[in-house]
């Protein structure tokens, strides 16, 4: 037993050492650019290196006892029919984890598409899906744009993008460095820096898609930590009354929320992560807990919030399903009316 613990400690230390990140500023470049990669601004205190290493091991080999599979509320075909019944209205459907379908200004947007059973490079090791996608990939409506927040395995599934691109030829938007130079078969593939934007459509019906900051990190292996950028997305219409949807991706709490709210608010719908926040010594700077999500909701000057990033994969030491009760409790503590904070099931559409 002592030998096993020593071996695990050594492996955790090795993982921590390999996970070093770029830190040397680039003269004349934006503050979040560093030699060979990117960083948070203001800087986020990195987790304790050994704690980080042990948490990566936990994620790979130790199942969370709260990670109990559950049945889907309804089948994929029924979810698609419910989506179609929203007509052309602005609407949202949570597919699961951070995969969200949004219709805004007549355009269909798909954020962080992930439809596989595992969020890991080496299945079956690592987190396994606890509930099926709310809509199967084959049952998706036509997608006009795919938007990716960062390259972690629970947010970026290249094969899903390729399959959707082969069918729909959408515009694909990613942060700098995500996916290398692959175009995935999309009609256009753009990699943006924070503040960069693309337009979907023309004239009064156009939707502007803008990459904004987040407090997180990136990497798909031991040696590429923070080599690609991460971010959040703002989708905005200008015809008639401007409407705005904000997708936070993965993020810790920070001053970026207030800056985004001041520059782009009010937000009609904020899609905010609420789980995988434990252990806090590791995840405090990269994941929101429910109370922090409600603070972000206020900072963004949002009218409504949809809770995401819960109940699909057990990525933290917190109960993956606890958001169902914890988010309404946090909303009540913050004095936010219950009808402004949505905690819905995968496959359940809402007009907004």
At 84-113, the pLDDT tens digits run 999 999 999 999 999 999 999 999 999 999
For position 309, which CATH number holds?
A: 3.60.15.10
Q: Are residues 213 and 266 in the same domain?
A: yes
d(CA 327, CA 307): 8
Q: Are residues 310 and 170 in the same domain?
A: yes
Q: Are residues 251 and 331 in the same domain?
A: yes
Average pLDDT, the chain: 91
Q: How many residues does the structure list for the chain?
A: 352
| 75-89, 235-249, 252-266: the lowest-pLDDT one | 235-249
**Residue 23 pLDDT class (50, 70, 90 cuts):** confident
Q: How many domains does the chain have?
A: 2
pTM of the model: 0.91
Residue 310 lies in a domain: yes
Question: In the predicted model, what is the mean pLDDT of residues 255-268?
Answer: 98
| Residue reference for tokens 């958001």 | 323
Domain boundary among 29, 61, 93: 61
Residue 74 lies in a domain: no
Residue 66 lies in a domain: no
Task: Give yes or no for residue 181 having a pLDDT over 90.
Answer: yes
Residue 31 lies in a domain: yes
Strand partners, 233: 211, 247
Residue 311 lies in a domain: yes
**Residue 65 pLDDT class (50, 70, 90 cuts):** low
Domain boundary among 30, 61, 92: 61
Q: Could you please report the per-residue DSSP string of 284-331?
A: TTT---HHHHHHHHHHTTEEEEEEES-SS---SSS-TTTHHHHHHHHH
Q: Are residues 89 and 138 in the same domain?
A: yes
d(CA 170, CA 73): 29
Question: In the predicted model, what is the mean pLDDT of residues 206-230?
Answer: 97
Task: Give yes or no for residue 250 having a pLDDT over 90.
Answer: yes
Residue 313 lies in a domain: yes
Task: Give yes or no for residue 69 having a pLDDT over 80.
Answer: no
Whether 240 and 283 have beta carbons less than 8 Å apart is answered as no
Give the pLDDT of residue 334. 98
Q: Domain span at residue 42?
A: 2-61
Using DSSP's 3-state secondary structure scheme, residue 76 falls into: helix
pLDDT > 90: percent of the chain: 78
Give the pLDDT of residue 348. 96
Sign of the Cα pseudo-torsion (18, 23, 27, 30, in order): positive
Q: Are residues 121 and 40 in the same domain?
A: no
Q: Are residues 88 and 192 in the same domain?
A: yes
Residue 77 lies in a domain: no
Task: Give yes or no for residue 134 having a pLDDT over 90.
Answer: yes
Whether 166 and 233 have beta carbons less than 8 Å apart is answered as no
Q: Are residues 29 and 94 in the same domain?
A: no
Cis link prior to 124 (omega < 30° from 0)?
Answer: yes
- 245: closest CA among 222, 267, 226, 275? 267
Provide CB contacts within 8 A for 65, sequence distance 6+: none
Cα dist. 131→64, 73, 350 in Å?
15, 9, 20
73 against 6, higher pLDDT: 73
Give the pLDDT of residue 125. 87
Q: Are residues 211 and 323 in the same domain?
A: yes
Question: In the predicted model, what is the mean pLDDT of residues 267-290?
Answer: 93
**Residue 64 pLDDT class (50, 70, 90 cuts):** low
Q: Are residues 22 and 95 in the same domain?
A: no
Residue 177 lies in a domain: yes
Eight-state DSSP code of residue 249: -
Q: Are residues 309 and 220 in the same domain?
A: yes
Task: Give yes or no for residue 1 having a pLDDT over 60.
Answer: no
Q: Are residues 203 and 324 in the same domain?
A: yes
Give the pLDDT of residue 347. 98
Q: Are residues 113 and 47 in the same domain?
A: no
- Judged by phi (left if over 0) then psi (alpha if -120 to 50, else beta), residue 88 lies in alpha
């Amino acid at each position: 037993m002592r030998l096993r613990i020593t071996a695990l400690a050594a492996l955790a230390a090795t993982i921590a050492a390999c996970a070093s990140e770029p830190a040397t500023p680039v003269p004349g470049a934006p503050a979040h650019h560093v030699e060979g990669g990117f960083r948070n601004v203001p800087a986020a205190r990195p987790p304790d290196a050994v704690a980080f290493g042990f948490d990566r091991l936990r994620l790979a080999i130790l199942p969370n006892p709260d990670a109990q599979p559950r049945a889907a509320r309804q089948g994929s075909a029924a979810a698609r029919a419910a989506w179609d019944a929203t007509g052309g209205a602005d609407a949202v459907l949570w597919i699961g984890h951070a995969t969200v379908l949004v219709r805004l200004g007549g355009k269909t947007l798909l954020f962080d598409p992930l439809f596989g059973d595992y969020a890991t490079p080496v299945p079956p090791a690592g987190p396994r899906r606890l509930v099926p996608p709310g809509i199967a990939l084959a049952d998706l409506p036509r997608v006009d744009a795919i938007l990716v927040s960062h390259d972690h395995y629970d947010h970026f599934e290249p094969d899903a993008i390729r399959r959707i691109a082969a069918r729909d030829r959408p515009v694909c938007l990613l942060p700098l460095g995500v996916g290398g130079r692959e175009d995935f078969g999309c009609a256009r593939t753009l990699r943006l820096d924070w503040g960069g934007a693309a337009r979907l459509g023309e004239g009064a019906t156009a939707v502007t898609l803008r990459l904004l900051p987040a407090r997180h990190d990136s990497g798909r292996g031991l040696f590429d930590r923070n080599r690609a950028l991460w971010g959040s997305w703002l989708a905005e219409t200008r015809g008639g009354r401007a409407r705005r949807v904000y997708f936070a991706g993965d993020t810790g709490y920070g001053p970026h929320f207030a800056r985004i709210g001041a520059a782009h608010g009010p937000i009609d719908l904020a899609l905010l992560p609420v789980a995988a926040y434990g252990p806090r010594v590791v995840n405090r700077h990269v994941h929101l807990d429910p109370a922090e999500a409600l603070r972000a909701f206020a900072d963004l000057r949002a009218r409504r919030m949809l809770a995401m990033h819960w109940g699909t994969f057990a990525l933290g030491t917190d109960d993956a399903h606890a958001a169902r009760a914890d988010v309404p409790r946090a909303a009540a503590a913050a004095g936010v009316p219950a009808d402004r904070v949505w905690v819905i099931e995968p496959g359940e559409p809402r007009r907004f």
